[in-house]
Amino acid sequence: MSNEATLHPLIRIRRDLHQIPEPGFQEVKTQRYLLDYLATLPQERLEIRTWRTGILVRIKGTDSRRRFGYRADMDGLPISEETSYSFPSTHPGYMHACGHDLHMTIGLGIVTEIVREPIRDDLIVLFQPAEEGPGGAEPMLASEELADWMPDQMVSLHIAPEYPVGTIATKHGILFANTSELFIDLTGKGGHAAYPHRSNDMVVAACQLVGQLQTILSRNIDPLDPAVITIGKITGGTKQNIIAEKARLEGTIRTLSAETMKLIKSRIEALVAGIETGFACQAEIDYGSTYMQVFNEAAVTREFMDWLGQRDDVQLLECTEAMTGEDFGYFLERIPGFMFWLGVDTPYGLHHAKLEPDEGAIDVAVRVVTDYFKWKAQ
């Protein structure tokens, strides 16, 4: 862990968390680190529960009438880090390439501030596992641990590499897209490369299918209805002179409309059925983790934006919707609230091996969110 004692405590925490990225529902070291920190805080108004590898924190208000909620996600990504950091990931093949190390640090900063200066109402801070997959928001919402602490309003944030530090961007209505993973397995008949007529080549079938999938967007979806189908990975075959018996396509679907998501999936199924017939093979489709849209409730989002617009220490931008996915949408389906983008000013985008967010954004977020909850609780 980082031993740079002169660093701001929250930056030290962020660097420690950056070194221990873990897959969804395997955030054992991360949970232990967070719990150890929480144990150092004054406990009079603090209640802590664990759920799987996540943590629920309640800070009791001085005269509580309602509960505000803040969510921070915890998991890392299967990416080999290529940053210039002196504190890189110590878990080979895993990296906090989506900013969850900052998200958790900000969550701890908010808890620290509110514990030391309690607000009138309760604050529930959720450290949620498995945002990147298979999805932790939906089962956490259904958990017994959260049932009697359910917030009346929810807030969350996501780092934004493209915005300068000090910038906060959001909008009411849809902010992030409906998303679905996509896995397609094709199984034919392998054989010797010299005798292609005796085999069913799944590399050829997979290549045909990739091209066909792109016609869904160009020929089945209204050009004014934003949608994305990306095949990010293809695997198939074992050797250059062996016809592939199996091939696998892995990708993602993004839409701003739930109905469009249904249409795309029905067209995928029709095209895959055609591949089965055309190549005399078998196919299986798995949609993996499916996340609903992040929809910011209009009244509370406008209220937040009006309040933020009166501050001179941050710049507020009204942004457009993005095709990114986030399982925070499950919270917003049930609880009024909003998510916002936090500027971290780095040339490399989310999920990039060289992502290096500006740590100055941590203090900005802690200050803004704690001030917002204090204002709401007046």
Cβ contact 50:58 at 8 Å: no
- Residues 171, 176, 178, CA angle at the centre, nearest 5°? 140
Select which of 27, 73, 181, 359 is catalytic. 73
The span from the CA of 336 to the CA of 181, in Å, is: 26
Q: Cβ atoms within 10 A of the Cβ of 91, count? A: 17
> How would you classify residue 151: left for phi > 0, otherwise alpha for psi between -120 and 50, otherwise beta?
beta
Helix axes 360-376, 298-308, angle to 10 degrees: 110
Instruction: Indicate the SS3 state at residue 294.
Output: strand
Nearest to 21 by CA among 69, 91, 113: 91
Q: Phi first, then psi: give them for residue 305, nearest 5 degrees.
A: -65, -40
Name the helix (H) or strand (E) containing 375.
Answer: helix 360-376
Is 144 among the residues known to form the active site? no
- For residues 175-203, one letter each, b for 16 or more C-beta atoms within 10 angstroms of the residue's C-beta and e for the rest, the string is bbbbbbbbebbbbbebbeeeeeeebbbbb
Q: Cβ atoms within 10 A of the Cβ of 362, count? A: 26
Distance of CA 16 to the CA centre of its chain: 20
Is 222 among the residues known to form the active site? no
**Which pair of tokens denotes residue 157?**
């944030």
Per-residue H/E/C for 168-207: EEECCEEEECEEEEEEEEEECECEECCCHHHCECHHHHHH
Q: Given the structure tokens 């958790």, which residue do they identify? A: 104
**Which pair of tokens denotes residue 70?**
């803040």
Select which of 22, 81, 132, 138 is catalytic. 132
Could you tell me which residues come within 8 angstroms of residue 16 by beta carbon, excluding any fewer than 6 positions away? Answer: 1, 2, 33, 87
Q: Cβ atoms within 10 A of the Cβ of 310, count? A: 7
The catalytic site residues sit at 73, 132
